[in-house]
Each structure stands twice: as C-alpha cells, then as structure tokens.
Amino acid sequence: MSPEPYEVFAVRYAHNPAARSAHNFVGGDPHDVPMPLDYFVWAIRGNGRTFIVDTGFDEAMARKRQRDFLRSPGEGLKAIGINPDSIEDVILTHMHYDHCGNYNLFPNAKYHLQDIEMAYCTGRCMCHSALKAPFEEEDVVAMVRKVFAGRVKFHDGAAELAPGISVHHVGGHSKGLQVVRVWTRRGWLVVASDASHFYANMEQGRAFPIMHSLANTLEGYERLWELASDRSNVIPGHDPIILDRYPAAAQGLEGVVVRLDADPNA
C-alpha cells in the first residue's frame, strides 16, 4: 500500500548569471550562449515528516565562489512554513560546496550520506586539485564533526528513509552522489540534484564537465528515468527552467519557491 503523496518544493537561494552553454557540457557547445545556473535546496513534506535535501551555501561562500546570493536557504524554507530548527532529517546528495554548506542551519537534524562520498572527500582523491575543486575544507571538516557527534546516518547504495522516500547512489558527478525518489500525486518523482545539472544534460546525453566519472554520469541518466514514473518527473539540480515549469508554492513566492509535485505549467 502506497503512503499518502508527499509535497516537494524547490527553494532557490543563489544564481550564477555568468555561466554560458560552453561551460555546461563536456567538450563545450558550438553556440556558446548564456546559460545561467540557479542554486536550490529541496524540501519534502508529508506523512508527518519533513526532509530537507541539501543545505546550500551562505553569503560568504557566494562571495568566495563569485555567485549571486539571493537569500538564506533557511529564509526560503520559512516562507513555506518550515522551521529549520524542527528538521530531523537532512539528505545530502553529495559534498560539493553548494550542497552541504550552512552546516549550523539544522541543529537538530541527522544527515543522510553515502559511505562512498565521505570516503571520497576525505581520501586520496582530494590530493588532486582538479578533483577537490568543488569541495570546501571547512564543509568536510564540519561533516566529520557530525560523524563523531553521532549525527550522520550512512547508506551504501539504495535505502528507504521512510515509506515513499528513498535514496539511490548513482555517482558520476561526485563519486558518492545520491538521488532522492519520492512518492507524489504525480507518481514517483526524482530529485536528481547534480546527477543532471540541466534538463539538457540528460535529454541530450551531454554531461556537465565537473565529474568523477563520465561513464557513471551518462549511465546515471538512464537510472534517473528508471526511478521516475515519467521522464518529466526527474528534476535537475541547477536548471532555471523549473521556475517557469512549476507553479509558485504560494502567492508572492514566484521565482523563490516552486511546487514540484504540482502539475507543470502549460
């Protein structure tokens, strides 16, 4: 018997207007047109539980990484009635700087992470500048501290976190990247995070250039579609299109929070 459908929200907190299509595909892009990135955290609510997917970065990190900081992810969550202090479960899709910062925002949460991702970001691969570039030392150290505080739940591959919510290791972009499968009113929806930055990456079979494994990235697209009830139910990690494709969570939240379990806009 399926659980009651969950609500799923995308909360936009930052923007990179300088990105171009040549930056977003392996081998570049012959058109080389503007192709900006948005930065999101996600919230899953229903059946008496609320899960947060990824924690974003703060204003100081935005300055360091030259991103436009729009609002704290916590501010966006509060706009839909979610108090960060009340959150008990945070799913980290991977440990790149834009997905695991703000590590004091959820003081009462347990963090769900793949074994292999923690090993990757604390192991020999971080001796290579090209591989460690998307990671931040302080983010990794903060997660190690959470491990010692008993606040990390490790997973090895697929795991059910609650009826209708599961994580699935796909790798590719980062060695331990996991995606989140959620039961919604439209069937199974997949929060893909950086398994596909844009719709175009997976739809055209052209990978985003930051990765641990090109083969796993490309194979991961097929896995995303297998997990979802429909290909349209796979939500990429950084595509501004979702702000137009899905309705705002409430009046006044246009461009800030969209409802991913709702029917897409016509």
Report pLDDT for 3. Answer: 83
Task: Tell whether the model's pLDDT for residue 94 goes beyond 80.
Answer: yes
Report pLDDT for 2. Answer: 73
Task: Tell whether the model's pLDDT for residue 177 goes beyond 80.
Answer: yes
Q: What is the pLDDT of residues 184-209, one digit of tens each?
A: 999 999 999 999 999 999 999 999 99
User: Would the CA dihedral through 50, 178, 61, 40 be positive or negative?
Assistant: negative
Q: Where are the domains of the chain?
A: 7-259
Per-residue 3-state assignment (H helix, E strand, C coil) for 179-191: EEEEEECCEEEEE
Q: What is the pLDDT of residues 115-174, one digit of tens each?
A: 999 999 999 999 999 999 999 999 999 999 999 999 999 999 999 999 999 999 999 999
> What CATH superfamily is the domain 7-259?
Ribonuclease Z/Hydroxyacylglutathione hydrolase-like (3.60.15.10)
Report pLDDT for 236. Answer: 98
Q: What are phi and psi of 263, to 5 degrees?
A: -65, 135
Q: How far apart are the first and last CA of the chain?
A: 31
d(CA 70, CA 118): 29
Task: Tell whether the model's pLDDT for residue 1 goes beyond 70.
Answer: no
Other beta carbons within 10 Å of 36: 15
